[in-house]
Structure 1
Amino acid sequence: MVSKKQRNLILLLLFIGWAIGNFDRYFINYAILSITEDLQLSPTSTGLILSSFFAGYALMQIPGGWLADKFGSRRVLIVSVLMWSIFTAMTGAVWSLTSMIIIRFLFGIGEGGFQPSSSKLISQTFPSSKRAWAMSIMLSTSGIVSLIVPVLSVYMLTTIGWRVSFLVLGAIGLIISVFYWIFIKLPEGIKEEEFKPVGANQESVFKQLIKTPLMLNLFIAYYSIYAINWGLATWLPTYLVNIRGLDLISLGWVQTIPGLAMVFAIFLSGYVIDRLPEGREKVIGAISCVLIGCILYLMFNAPNVTMFITYQTIVIMFISFIMLLLPAIILKRLPSSVIGTSMGVANTGGQLAGFITPLAIGFIVQMFNGSYDAAFWMLIIFAIICMVSLLTLNYRKGGLLQAEQ
């Protein structure tokens, strides 16, 4: 058994790792202004740089989870942090567009193994009743970082420049990887849950997972909720400026309100999910998806900016609940021996949504001559798809779950 003190230390280290990873990921969105000027890049080239990370990140989700299941969560965590730190530092030494795209792609590959391996580590060290809470602590870093990254990024860029900034962030990551090596230790007595794939050896776990209806539903749900999340995150600033008439300073201030709501909602969701009666989580999740769809409709029909931000704040809270509920289902319903691979399979859907949805919205807005109505309807449809995916979750159908039970 892992002691409470050791569990808390592991959770603290994972929290710091997720925070640094999120900051490294978001910092490029501000640094790209200086990078574009220094390297004399076109808008198309800038887009390639920003999307290259998501390409590598999405591609590594399933392999990263498989590696964590096969070689252990600790090893993959350390390698992941080490790899993304090296390529973060190398970003500060790029000399051309090609080198930047390759390095950011490899950065995505490095960070891609972190979420599935850290999720597996949670399943190994926390009891089932505490896993959603532990996951909520880690996911809260996204909301926290989104609050501090604008101010801190501008300060770093104006004082030490983008090249030195990436070198500093890479050095911090290397220090974190050393901490992981020293302090993340699993007692010798701890082992994976007793689990043997039905009629197959360990190498066929992936094939069994993708044939399990539960994983298909989770993949679709992940894609749908992250399509809504990334669709709003990437296009709302442009929408609020161009359609609602906000200036950039006002935009920055009003968007702190949904950011704070996201942090609060993640912590609250972790508490609630761990206390839901067995089987009720998918019903509560489906109801939340219905509410997301309804509030999205109210958002784009809001009569003024105040009401729009109010609806946005509410919808972000429900989105945060679903984004925590989905990994909690994996952590609670599947044996820890396949948590890494399972999380990788499901999260691939979310990362594909992050890559595809912003492009789709841009195409839709252009096709409808600057109108965002069709884009909002697309997000509402994704809320309905997510609802159906959750309602049709079947925990007992499929070889993996039969094997566990």
Structure 2
Amino acid sequence: MRWKSRYWVYLMLFALAAINYLDRVALSVSAGRIQTALDIDKVQLGYLFSSFLWGYTLCLIPIGLLVDRFGSRTVTAASMALWSAATALTGAAVSMGGIIAARVVMGIGESSCYPAASRIIREWVPSGERGTAMTLFNSGAYFGPALGAVGLSWLVSVLDWRWSFVICGVIGFVWLGLWLAFFRQPEHTTWLSTEERDTIRRERETSSQSEAAAANPVGLGRLIASRTMWGLMLTQGAGAYTQYLFLTWLPNYLQAERGMTLLKSGTVMALPYLGSIVVSVALGMFSDRLLTARAVEAGRRRLVLGAVVLGGAVILFVPWVTSIEAILLLITVALGSVATGNALNITLLGDLLRSKADLGRATGLLLIGGNVFGFLAPIVTGYVVQATGRFDTAFAAAGGLLVMGALSSWFLTRSPIGERTGVTLRGDMTEQIEG
């Protein structure tokens, strides 16, 4: 495969997601030291883990509207500055309330990440590469925790947990400088060849999307009224629950239930996250090869998506396995499936959404569905572990939700979003199209 200049944008998006999740996992890696320093129990720790999602979830739709209004470059830059500053200031907190306040502000800043990336991919990526680009971007959400598990574990063990937050914040500001220097729309990017610019403009939309790209937005009300939108939100929620379960509690699980030290748990935690990146990118590329442009227009990405999400339900077997190698394999498969499922679900939203003008708010609405579940995962797990002393029930709940997410994808996302009510034939499927 010959290198294309647009791949630099894909890598910048990968780095954006990696920094986003590096900052999130900083608290998980430092949790033992913070718990001791602040004298808090498992339930309080669960609320602390969940706190960044409070601001994140509340701001997804407002930030999505800002992305639609002002564009992805400006909103992404402002958001990165805000969340990097909040991450660095977490290291200065001296109470649980102070950490919660910093994490809420961090969540507000991070809420731009996926709505902006979804719009960037729609604007920069030919339709035949969209699954690959989105899974590559979303893989950063798994590389960040892998990097944090090893690097931040080492930092916390040799320095202090406070310095880990400061360093994470500095990394964000370095990325911000590169973003402002190099990122523009394809039409205004000087380092892009005329040939490649023309290719992007010609191939980034399927035929139906090209016709509707300049259409008036359908508005938030019609998005909320769409059954397809609700199906996408349920699938996103099922994946988000498992993702945040591991993101927040996996280091604690390895230390408390498997008896690992801070450094060893960090190294072991990195393995399934790195493995999930390989699984996710491979499945994303496979989905692009499997689906023709006609199949994308017909919404058949949902069939691949449902199968991938169902694969993540192997997490149900974790309580029955004693070998640490087998547990890591199951977690790797689950994380890889969730990573791919989340990315393909956002890609499916782009496939089904008929007006590009709605993309920021629609992505924000989709992520609210995901993060309602993600918001609950650390808290529910905290109560379960505090009451039982084990993680078995937490893993079972995550597996059951993934089965629900697969069914939601297969049966609730059959119709495009943003067309008038009617019946149309797409490929070999007759679809009821929602308004």
Structure 1 residues 397 and 182: alpha-carbon distance in aligned structure 2, compared to 1, 3 A threshold: closer
Distance of 2:181 and 2:434 partners within structure 1: 33
Structure 1 residues 311 and 175: alpha-carbon distance in aligned structure 2, compared to 1, 3 A threshold: closer
2:305 to 260, 285, 290: 285
Distance of 1:270 and 1:397 partners within structure 2: 22
CA contact (8 A) 1:269 1:324 kept: no
2:232 to 210, 215, 218: 218
Which residue does the alignment assign to 1:316? Answer: 335
Work out the number of aligned pairs and report it: 395
- The TM-score, its normalising length taken from structure 1, stands at 0.84
Which residue does the alignment assign to 1:356? Answer: 376
Deviations 1:191-250 (A, max 9, x none): 99664899xx64x6111111111110000111112223333454555556666x553466
Structure 1 residues 42 and 291: alpha-carbon distance in aligned structure 2, compared to 1, 3 A threshold: closer
Deviations 1:163-210 (A, max 9, x none): 444334333322322322221111259799664899xx64x6111111
Structure 1 residues 114 and 235: alpha-carbon distance in aligned structure 2, compared to 1, 3 A threshold: closer
The aligned amino acid for 1:282 is R
CA contact (8 A) 1:212 1:400 kept: no
Which residue does the alignment assign to 1:329? Answer: 348
CA contact (8 A) 1:92 1:162 kept: yes
CA contact (8 A) 1:234 1:358 kept: yes
Structure 1 residues 12 and 282: alpha-carbon distance in aligned structure 2, compared to 1, 3 A threshold: closer
Greater CA deviation, 207-216 or 86-95?
86-95
Structure 1 residues 331 and 301: alpha-carbon distance in aligned structure 2, compared to 1, 3 A threshold: same
Which residue does the alignment assign to 1:264? Answer: 278
Distance of 1:146 and 1:110 partners within structure 2: 18
Which residue does the alignment assign to 1:120? Answer: 119
Which residue does the alignment assign to 2:362? Answer: 342
Structure 1 residues 87 and 273: alpha-carbon distance in aligned structure 2, compared to 1, 3 A threshold: same
Which residue does the alignment assign to 1:42? Answer: 40
Greater CA deviation, 172-181 or 219-228?
172-181
CA contact (8 A) 2:22 2:147 kept: no
- Displacement of 1:158 in angstroms is 4.9
CA contact (8 A) 2:245 2:378 kept: yes
Structure 2 unaligned spans of 5+: 189-196, 422-432
- Displacement of 1:96 in angstroms is 4.1
Map 1:57-68 onto structure 2 (within 5 A).
Answer: 57-68=56-67
Q: Is it true that 1:99 corresponds to 2:98 in the alignment?
A: yes
The aligned amino acid for 1:383 is L
CA contact (8 A) 1:131 1:331 kept: no
Map 1:120-159 onto structure 2 (within 5 A).
Answer: 120-158=119-157
3-state SS in 2 of match to 1:399? coil
Q: Is it true that 1:22 corresponds to 2:35 in the alignment?
A: no
Structure 1 unaligned spans of 5+: none
Distance of 2:141 and 2:225 partners within structure 1: 32
CA contact (8 A) 1:128 1:331 kept: no
Distance of 1:373 and 1:265 partners within structure 2: 25
Structure 1 residues 131 and 92: alpha-carbon distance in aligned structure 2, compared to 1, 3 A threshold: same
Structure 1 residues 135 and 158: alpha-carbon distance in aligned structure 2, compared to 1, 3 A threshold: same
Deviations 1:289-336 (A, max 9, x none): 44443x334333236444333333333333333222211212333243
Structure 1 residues 91 and 240: alpha-carbon distance in aligned structure 2, compared to 1, 3 A threshold: closer
The aligned amino acid for 1:259 is Y
Deviations 1:332-372 (A, max 9, x none): 332432222121111112222222023223434556x4465
- Displacement of 1:123 in angstroms is 0.8
Deviations 1:113-169 (A, max 9, x none): 122112211111111111111112222223222322133213433555444443343
Distance of 1:171 and 1:155 partners within structure 2: 17
Structure 1 residues 346 and 165: alpha-carbon distance in aligned structure 2, compared to 1, 3 A threshold: same
Distance of 2:385 and 2:27 partners within structure 1: 25
Structure 1 residues 374 and 168: alpha-carbon distance in aligned structure 2, compared to 1, 3 A threshold: closer
Which residue does the alignment assign to 2:223? Answer: 209
Provide the aligned C-alpha RMSD in A: 3.4
Structure 1 residues 175 and 147: alpha-carbon distance in aligned structure 2, compared to 1, 3 A threshold: closer
CA contact (8 A) 1:208 1:400 kept: no
Q: Is it true that 1:247 corresponds to 2:245 in the alignment?
A: no
